[in-house]
């Protein structure tokens, strides 16, 4: 049963998007008085909110400092940073500032499986949900993917909640108390939000606060951290595992996903492509093991899982040239994971053509030099920061500036040879040219279809 919130003051919700609306609905069910504010004059869900709460109009355009300073509590949407001056002032007045995930954790009536990482978290979250369902467990999946976390509390109690969590959501989470939590990997991202890489990493590690089981990537030291007494830890990686851990082993001429020395699935049986997706599969297996759902049924679901749209998604083959949509790669780490995952699958005479570009979000592209070698036939650049990326691409690589997705695809097709793969993995945000990464991936598919 959920606890009713009792207070003589007003809770202030800051941010009117999917999260803010879910908080308003939750507080209304709890009979908790609230105000809702947004820094934008016309936030995207304003009309929907007004239709549901016509007697509680939102305050838009400027945050009401007086109301914030006297609030019982502020529930902050992830799109707004804690560094906002109005929030800093309210904090000085002793007002507690939390996010919807902290509120969810305080009221959740089933164990939480929590998943974060710079890359792969949507894939792993979805995969864990499908594998758990196949194993006979009931789960509700949401958070940073699909349904807002608080909306899950209105559904029948499941065996587990499975949440994808961003660093923005974790910033305002005090103690998640997850049954199992994982950081899949950490690479530079959102440097336009954080003043340092350390601050970004620190936000990610909050997922472990109060966790009973911790799943870490043994190939990425940044997924580790101090281990509290009584916390169980399992690790995964695409190398050979120790006893009871998860990894890849060789048996004859085949490679297997395995727990310890026990082979579970042949790599050849998976529909997902790329080494990074092997890592994602192993992370999901480790989580299922602590959930009590790693069995023949969940492993069969893993075999059938094709991955998510816009994440190393096979689009088409044209005259022996394969086109892959990885539009969700909005940072260098994701782009690197796609490249390093696909290169080992190429034969000696096959190469990769890479389409990149967009809004860099303050990223340092010097890392590109480490991931692009002579197996990259060409790099096609587009968008706001194309020139910035070009400066980081090794001069030995054939590089072209293009003006649109269609022209980038067409140029890649002209340069490619049979057996090559054309990979859209932008390493940038999309809003300079597209409505979002989904629109960018869709336009890539349309351009490929028009060849």
Contact criterion met (CB below 8 Å) for 152 and 220: no
Q: What is the pLDDT at residue 191?
A: 65
What is the C-alpha radius of gyration for the chain, rounded to an integer number of angstroms?
A: 23
Which of 46, 190, 328, 411 is catalytic? The answer is 190
Contact criterion met (CB below 8 Å) for 236 and 218: yes
Asked if 442 is an active-site residue, the reply is no
**Series of mean pLDDT values for 10-residue runs along the chain (451 residues):** 51 96 97 96 95 96 95 95 94 97 97 95 96 98 96 97 96 97 87 81 93 97 89 97 97 95 94 87 98 98 89 90 94 88 87 96 84 93 95 95 98 97 96 96 97 95
Q: What is the pLDDT at residue 6?
A: 43
pTM of the model: 0.80
CATH of 103-304, one of 3.30.590.10, 3.10.105.10, 3.40.1190.10, 3.30.70.20: 3.40.1190.10
Return d(Cα 345, Cα 65) in angstroms, integer: 56
Topology agreement, domain 11-98 and domain 313-449 = no
Which of 121, 204, 390, 442 is catalytic? The answer is 121
Asked if 144 is an active-site residue, the reply is yes
Angle between the 121-134 and 296-304 helix axes, to the nearest 10 degrees? 140
Per-domain residue ranges for the chain? 11-98, 103-304, 313-449
CATH of 11-98, one of 1.20.990.10, 3.40.50.720, 3.40.710.10, 3.40.50.620: 3.40.50.720
Return d(Cα 216, Cα 218) in angstroms, integer: 6
Q: Which residues are annotated as a binding site for ATP?
A: 117-123
Asked if 411 is an active-site residue, the reply is no
SS3 letters for the chain? CCCCCCCCCCEEEECCCHHHHHHHHHHHHCCCCEEEEECCCCCCCHHHHHHHCCCCCCEECCCCHHHHHCCCEEEECCCCCCCCHHHHHHHHCCCEEECHHHHHHHHCCCCEEEEECCCCHHHHHHHHHHHHHHCCCCEEEEECCCECHHHHCCCCCCCEEEEECCHHHHHCCCCCCCCEEEECCCCCCCCCCCCCHHHHHHHHHHHHCCCCEEEEECCCHHHCCCCCCCCEEEEECCCCCCCCCEEEEEECCEEEEEECCEEEEEHHHCCCCCHHHHHHHHHHHHHHHHHCCCCHHHHHHHHHCCCCCCCCEEEEEECCEEEEECCCCCCHHHHHHHHHHHHHHCCCCCCEEEEECCECCCCCHHHHHHHCCCCEEEEEECCCCHHHHHHHCCCCCEEEECCCHHHHHHHHHHHCCCCCEEEECCCCECCCCCCCHHHHHHHHHHHHHCC
Pairing of strands 160-164, 96-98: unpaired
Return d(Cα 448, Cα 321) in angstroms, integer: 11
Q: What kind of fold does domain 313-449 have according to CATH?
A: 3.90.190
Which of 144, 185, 217, 325 is catalytic? The answer is 144
């Amino acid at each position: 049963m959920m606890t009713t919130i009792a207070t003589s003051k007003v809770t202030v919700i800051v941010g009117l998007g999917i999260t803010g609306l879910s908080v308003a609905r939750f507080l209304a069910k709890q009979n908790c008085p609230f105000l809702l504010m947004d820094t934008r004059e016309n936030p995207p869900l304003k009309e929907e909110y007004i239709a549901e709460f016509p007697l509680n109009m939102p305050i838009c355009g400027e945050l009401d400092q007086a109301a914030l300073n006297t609030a019982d509590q502020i529930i902050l949407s992830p799109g707004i940073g804690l560094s906002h001056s109005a929030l800093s002032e309210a904090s000085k007045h002793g007002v507690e500032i939390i996010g919807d995930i902290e509120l969810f954790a305080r009221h959740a009536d089933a164990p939480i499986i929590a998943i974060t990482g710079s890359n792969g978290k949507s894939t792993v979250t979805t995969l864990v949900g499908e594998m758990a369902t196949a194993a006979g467990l009931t789960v509700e999946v949401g958070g940073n993917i699909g349904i807002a976390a608080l909306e899950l509390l209105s559904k029948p109690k499941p065996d587990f909640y499975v949440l994808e969590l961003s660093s923005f959501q974790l910033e305002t989470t005090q103690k998640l108390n997850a049954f199992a939590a994982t950081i899949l990997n950490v690479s530079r991202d959102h440097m336009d939000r954080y003043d340092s890489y350390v601050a970004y990493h620190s936000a990610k590690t909050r997922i472990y606060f109060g966790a009973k089981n911790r799943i870490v990537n043994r190939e990425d030291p940044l997924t580790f951290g101090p281990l509290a007494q009584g916390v169980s830890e399992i690790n995964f990686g695409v190398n050979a595992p120790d006893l009871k851990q998860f990894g890849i082993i060789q048996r004859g001429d085949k490679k297997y996903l395995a727990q310890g020395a026990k082979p579970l699935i042949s790599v050849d049986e998976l529909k997902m492509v790329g080494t990074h997706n092997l890592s994602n599969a192993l992370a999901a297996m480790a989580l299922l093991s602590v959930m009590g759902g790693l069995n023949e049924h969940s492993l069969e679901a893993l075999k059938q899982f094709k991955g998510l749209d816009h994440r190393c998604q096979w689009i088409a083959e044209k005259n022996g040239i394969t086109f892959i949509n990885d539009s969700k790669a909005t940072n260098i780490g994701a782009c690197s994971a796609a490249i390093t995952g696909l290169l080992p699958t190429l034969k000696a005479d096959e190469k990769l053509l890479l389409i990149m570009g967009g809004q860099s979000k303050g990223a340092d592209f010097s890392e590109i030099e480490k991931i692009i070698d002579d197996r990259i036939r060409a790099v096609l650049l587009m968008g706001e920061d194309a020139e910035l990326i070009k400066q980081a691409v090794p001069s030995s690589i054939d590089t072209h500036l293009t003006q649109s997705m269609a022209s980038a695809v067409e140029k890649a097709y002209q340069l490619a040879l049979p057996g090559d793969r054309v990979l859209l993995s932008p390493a940038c945000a999309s809003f300079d040219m597209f409505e979002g990464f989904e629109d960018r991936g869709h336009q890539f598919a349309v351009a490929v279809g028009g060849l």
